[in-house]
Amino acid sequence: MTGWRIGYMAAPQDVATACDKMQGQFTSAASSIAQKAAKAAISISTPDRGLMVETFRKRRDLVLNLMKDIPGWKTNTPEGAFYVFPDISYYFGKSDGSSTINNPEDMCMFLLKDAKVALVTGEAFGDNQCIRFSYATSDKLLTEAIARIKVSLAKLK
């Protein structure tokens, strides 16, 4: 349910009560459509859920394997999300002659323009050295996107 911004938790009552107070200050109510979708998602059979977990694990491993060949990118190994959060600071100060990479926003704009790959900066997620790469799509598209990124980054000197 990428992008639906809905969740639930199980915790001791005092922890749940404290979280409820905080959550009410940060978000508004989930739409009825998102609530019904969430109910359906957690109601699917275990084999189906297991298949999705395995699919995302394979996508994660594919992306990490392809990214290891990108000079200067430092990646983490996500354990519960569908994003890789590479540190791209190696490219700060590098240029292709018309664009200079000084921060993650510059990198995202350069890759959007040159590689036609949309990414977001890591600044909103707590790190101004990183970008966020989602692997919530097909293996084919992931492979193509990373190939384009490699070609574009090779232009930076």
Give residue-wise pLDDT tens across range 72-87: 999 989 988 899 999 9
**84: three-class secondary structure by DSSP:** strand
pLDDT of 4 reads: 72
DSSP 123: G
Domain ranges of the chain: 13-43, 46-153
Domain over 46-153 is classified CATH 3.90.1150.10: yes
* Cβ atoms of residues 129 and 89 within 8 Å: yes
The model's pLDDT over 11-41, given as tens digits with 9 standing for 90+, comes to 999 998 888 877 766 666 778 888 888 888 7
pLDDT (mean) for 124-143: 94
Helix axes 104-114, 139-153, angle to 10 degrees: 110
Q: Is the pLDDT of residue 143 over 90?
A: yes
DSSP 130: B
Tell me the pLDDT of the chain averaged across its residues.
90
> What is the distance between the alpha carbons of residues 52 and 35, in angstroms, rounded to a whole number?
20
7 contact partners, CB below 8 Å, separation of at least 6: 38
pLDDT of 17 reads: 87
